[in-house]
Structure 1
Amino acid sequence: MSEETKEELNQEEVETTQETASSENIEEKELSAEEKIAALEEQLKNEQEKYLRVHADFENIKKRLEKEKYAAIDYASEKFAKDLLMPIDTLEMALAAEEAADLPAEELLGKLKEGVELTIKNFYSAFEKHNISIVETDGEFDPNIHNAIMQVDSADHESGQIVQVMQKGYLLKDRLLRPAMVSIAN
């Protein structure tokens, strides 16, 4: 064989080998691409599961906080209610003492008055604990915290001054619970 023929054969063998290697590389690339797709699909599946778990946790926390919020609203006045138990107990003891006592009327009346005064003191103590204060009624009439129910002539007071308190008013911190009912001077 001639050298040219040998070279052509060698060239053909090299090309065939290259084609075979090239097709094997393509298959390897396809396999690695399929493997990559499978790996990415697995990763996506894991991320979706994580998302679902986090979302479920979030929903559970949201429901728990909602439940706690409503419980806090429902029981917001629990401390105040507990502080009002003492004045109620005092009133009940006063009634029980009246029934059990064989005291003369004047002495019984004195004891009942003392019991009522103690009850009022307990109420004011509970109010103080919860920032409830009495509306000031000394001096000028203030329509924001006073309710004028009468106007009277008074030589001792200037026009617009409070003459008499008919019913006390109360504030919760800075918010008006009930205005003071007052009479004012003409």
Structure 2
Amino acid sequence: MDEKLKEEQSVSDISAEIVPECSENDEELACECEQKSELEELQSKVAELEDRYLRANADFDNMKRRLEKEKMQAISYAHEVFARDLLPVIDSLEMAILAGSNTEIESGELLGKVKEGLGLTIEQFRKAFEKHGVELVAIDGTFDPNFHEAVMQLESEEKGSGEILQVFQKGYKIKDRILRPAMVSIVK
């Protein structure tokens, strides 16, 4: 056992000779080196995070511009389907004009055919409107300022005060929003 203690003592003596004890100055240098490496590491992380932030911000701006462009295109072409549904109505009116230039048909018969064609054309309009949620404003006899516009007030023995007497122009609404109120005359 003594030999083992002597061996350990000689190893510690040799290591003391090879590695001198650190002085206070060496510890300060090691601390400064450690702080510099930590600072460099933190600066590297800050640069990386700043780069990621800039890229994310650029991606956000690009997406925002793309969505704005798509929104503007959607607004520009929003009426495309409605307009396409009205094209047959225009075709019918053009055919009615062409039929009026046909001199082989008597005027009485022509008038009847034009009247029938206009009735069918109006029905095409109603179907196109109905398909897109456009409806007539109801005229149920009672004046409602939300749906009707009173342009005249007349006296009547047949109807009570505030009731609709006559409709001058039909009103239309799309879903719950009024496109045009019905123009009516009401009883005083």
Aligned length: 173
The residue matched to 1:151 in structure 2 has which SS? strand
Identity %: 47
Point out where structure 1 has 5 or more consecutive residues left out of the alignment. Answer: 1-9
Counterpart-to-counterpart distance in 2, 1:40 and 1:115: 82
CA distance in 2, matches of 1:149, 1:34: 87
- Of residues 159-168 and 33-42 in structure 1, the stretch that sits farther from structure 2 once superposed is 33-42
Q: What SS does the corresponding residue of 1:58 show, helix, strand or coil?
A: helix
Return the offset for 1:35.
Answer: 2.5
* Paired position in structure 2 for 1:61: 63
Segments of structure 2 that go 5 or more residues without pairing to the other structure are: 1-12
Residue number in structure 1 paired with 2:127: 125
Specify the alignment match of 2:177 in structure 1.
175
CA–CA distance in 2 between the matches of 1:51 and 1:153?
A: 75
> Which residues of 2 match residues 9-158 of structure 1 at below 5 A?
17-20=20-23, 23-100=25-102, 102-158=104-160
RMSD: 2.5
State the TM-score, normalizing by the size of structure 1.
0.80
Does the C-alpha gap of structure 1 residues 19 and 141 become closer, same or farther in structure 2, counting only changes over 3 Å?
Answer: closer
| SS of 1:154 mapped into structure 2 | coil
Letter in 1 for 2:71: K
- The alpha carbon displacement at 1:65 in A equals 1.6
Deviation at residue 24 of structure 1 after TM alignment:
4.4
Greater mean deviation of Cα atoms: 151-160 or 176-185: 151-160
1:31 Cα shift?
3.0
- CA shift, 1:101, in A, is 5.5
Q: Hey, what's the Cα distance between the residues in 1 that align with 2:154 and 2:57?
A: 69
Q: CA deviation at 1:71?
A: 2.3
